[in-house]
Chain A
Amino acid sequence: GAVVSQHPSRVICKSGTSVKIECRSLDFQATTMFWYRQFPKKSLMLMATSNEGSKATYEQGVEKDKFLINHASLTLSTLTVTSAHPEDSSFYICSVPGGTDTQYFGPGTRLTVL
């Protein structure tokens, strides 16, 4: 299956700063990537679909101006949490759709906003 990496794995930042999270598909070209967030002991909630060469598609209730997504190439999508606040603290996971139905998850990024 596809190998998906995320960077950084953990980040701690001060309230009001912006944080960029990278998702890379190391061996698979991905025109689409998905971004999820997961609160402790909760399920994965789809935030947005990242589309290479076009705008991301955001799920209802997700602020597109706060969670900026850029799908720069077929192997890289970035999620920028702008003006982060403590309530943005979460586990952010990206995924890459496989050849058929499967999706391959990145290892996740733990964001803590102080």
Chain B
Amino acid sequence: GENVEQHPSTLSVQEGDSAVIKCTYSDSASNYFPWYKQELGKRPQLIIDIRSNVGEKKDQRIAVTLNKTAKHFSLHITETQPEDSAVYFCAARTNAGKSTFGDGTTLTVKP
């Protein structure tokens, strides 16, 4: 089955700096890669996603890049703000519909 590895597990940045979280996946059949933000005790919220036919996608301060050959994808957050502090999960999904999640990255943005 699919295996998703996510790094780093914790990340601390100063407000205004950029944050980068990286994930690798194992199943070449995976074709959809969402990123979720989860605050304590809340449901995961989709913040951005990318499909396998696209190399990069950007939405304001958030961007995701995908390298299909290397089987890795990354989340980039620029101009970080304290409200960006949360746990971020990457996931990989195949056509079968099941998503495999990374272990999560706890991002702390210091004011």
Partner pick for B104 among A42, A102, A105, CB 8 A cutoff: A42
B34 touching A101, Cβ below 8 Å = yes
Given A93-B43, A102-B49, A105-B43; A43-B101 close (CB under 8 Å):
yes
A108 touching B97, Cβ below 8 Å = no
| Contacting residues, chain A, for B102 (C-beta < 8 A) | 43
Other contacts beyond A34-B99, A43-B102, A101-B93: 5, CB < 8 A = A41-B87, A43-B103, A49-B98, A107-B43, A108-B42
**A 32-44 to B, binary, CB cutoff 8 A, 1 in contact else 0:** 1010000001111
Partner pick for B44 among A42, A44, A46, A97, CB 8 A cutoff: A44
| Contacting residues, chain A, for B49 (C-beta < 8 A) | 101-102
Please, how many angstroms separate the alpha-carbon atoms of A43 and B106 in the complex?
11
Number of interface residues of A (CB under 8 A): 20
Please, how many angstroms separate the alpha-carbon atoms of A102 and B35 in the complex?
11
B89 touching A43, Cβ below 8 Å = yes
Please, how many angstroms separate the alpha-carbon atoms of A32 and B96 in the complex?
11
Interface residues of A, Cβ cutoff 8 Å to B:
32, 34, 41-46, 49, 91, 93, 97, 101-103, 105-108, 110
Please, how many angstroms separate the alpha-carbon atoms of A34 and B87 in the complex?
21
Please, how many angstroms separate the alpha-carbon atoms of A102 and B100 in the complex?
13
Given A42-B103, A42-B104; A106-B46 close (CB under 8 Å):
no
Given A42-B104, A43-B101; A101-B43 close (CB under 8 Å):
no
